[in-house]
Amino acid sequence: MDKQNRRDFFKNLAIAGATITGLSATSANAAPKKIISDDRMGVLVDTTVCVGCRNCEWACKGSHGIDAGSLESYEDRSVFNEKRRPTAGSYTVVNEYAPIKGSQIAINVKVQCMHCDHPACMSACIVGAFTKEENGSVIWDTGKCIGCRYCMVACPFQIPTFDYLTAIEPEIRKCDFCYNRTKEGKLPACVDICPVEALTYGKRSDLIKIAKDRIKRHPDRYEPELFGEKTVGGTAWMYLSAKKAEELDFPKLENVPAPGVSEAIQHGIFSYFVPPVAYFALLGGIMWISKRKDHDDEEED
């Protein structure tokens, strides 16, 4: 993710200011723009197949420069004693849930960014740091981020986290759908390593057909809802399960895109207060100076 130059910085700041000052009740209710490709990719997660080996957690860390430790250490199942969420040091985690009635087999659920078709994180970001790529990935530009954390508040799945290695310049951390791998034709690292093919990567429209076929052929095995097909307007990652999504700690969400909600909140706040352009200018300025200093220090070294 490129660092922005001085001109980009001030351009983004100007856009942020213009966006904030130009908001109105009408724009707050505007429908999300079509930003998605018909050929976008996705992942079908079949939680009835997942065995909770957590190889995906290990591979995800390894492919993103995070110390993953030994693969053997992931065999420790005591980690399932508590429910975990993705963090700045682990972009995906697997949790375990009680079996359905009459079954002895625990349910394991992998959690990561859902790569929404209408990403609330992107909609809430005032400097346009996020993009929804043609292949379905929701990625971000670290250089543009001013650390306001609006994306954290807006995400209906509570996914973006920040790396607080430096207090003044935290950086977004979340699953990037292995964008650097998929754009070269490789599988996402977690999909590649899964030993039981609980994760299927493919064209989103094909994955929906596969999922519906499984539900039709095994109605005793699956809940009828394919979570993510329509949830918050559709997501790239979709889940087949023997339990309802709410029983697996997924939030209960509507089938309308979340950005409408987050934009309305954000725009509503600004319609009652003086737009905090000065605040963002100050925050952005501090962050730009900090980045500039780091850059100068690197050059001096």
Task: Please report, to the nearest 10 degrees, the dihedral formed by the alpha carbons of residues 62, 141, 9, 295 taken in order.
Answer: 10
What is the smallest separation between the CB atom of 5 and ligand SF4, expressed in angstroms?
26
DSSP string, 77-101: GGGGGS----BTTBS-EEEEEPPPT
Q: Does 60 bind ligand SF4 (CB under 6 A)?
A: yes
Distance CA 86, CA 76 (A): 18
Q: How far is the CB of 235 from ligand SF4 (least distance, A)?
A: 7
Interface residue with ligand SF4, options 9, 97, 150, 177 (CB under 6 A): 177
- Binding track over 191-210 against ligand SF4, x by CB under 6 A: --xx-x-xx-----------
Of 16, 36, 107, 175, the one binding ligand SF4 (CB under 6 A) is 175
Q: Which stretch binds ligand SF4 (CB under 6 A): 55-63, 163-171, 268-276, 279-287?
A: 55-63
Nearest-angstrom CA–CA distance, 69 and 185: 27
- Sign of dihedral through CA atoms 48, 49, 51, 56? negative
- Tell me if 116 contacts ligand SF4 by CB under 6 A: yes
Quick note: the x/- pattern for ligand SF4 over 84-113, rule CB under 6 A, is: -------xx-x-------------x-x-xx
Taking the least distance from each CB to ligand SF4, the nearer of 175 and 208 is 175
Figure out which of the listed residues 36, 139, 189, 211 binds ligand SF4, where binding follows CB under 6 A.
189
Helix (H, G, I), strand (E, B) or coil at 41: strand
* Minimum distance from residue 208 beta carbon to ligand SF4 (Å): 18
Distance CA 187, CA 182 (A): 6
Residue 181 vs 212, nearer CB to ligand SF4 = 181
Binds ligand SF4 (CB under 6 A): choice among 13, 41, 44, 50: 50
Q: Residue 135 and residue 157: Cα distance in Å, rounded?
A: 21
| CB-CB contact of 26 with 50 (8 Å) | no
- Which of 136, 160, 233, 260: binder of ligand SF4 (CB under 6 A)? 160
C-alpha dihedral (15, 121, 23, 230), degrees to nearest 10: 130
Give 12 or 231: the residue with its C-beta nearer to ligand SF4.
231
Closer to ligand SF4 by CB, 186 or 291: give it.
186
Q: From CA 182, how far away is CA 42, in angstroms rounded?
A: 11
Q: Are 163 and 173 in contact (CB under 8 A)?
A: yes
Q: Residue 113 and residue 92: Cα distance in Å, rounded? A: 8
Listed in sequence order, the residues at least 6 apart from 111 whose beta carbon sits closer than 8 Å to its beta carbon are 85, 86, 92, 93, 94, 95
Query: 93, 121, 240, 287: which one contacts ligand SF4 (CB under 6 A)?
Result: 121
CA–CA separation, 73 vs 31, rounded Å? 47
Query: Which residue, 177 or 280, has its beta carbon nearer to ligand SF4?
Result: 177
Is residue 178 a contact point for ligand SF4 (CB under 6 A)? yes
- Assess 188 for contact with ligand SF4 (CB under 6 A): yes
**Binding footprint of ligand SF4 on the chain (CB under 6 A):** 50-56, 59-60, 63, 91-92, 94, 108, 110, 112-116, 119-121, 138, 155, 157, 159-160, 174-178, 188-190, 193-194, 196, 198-199
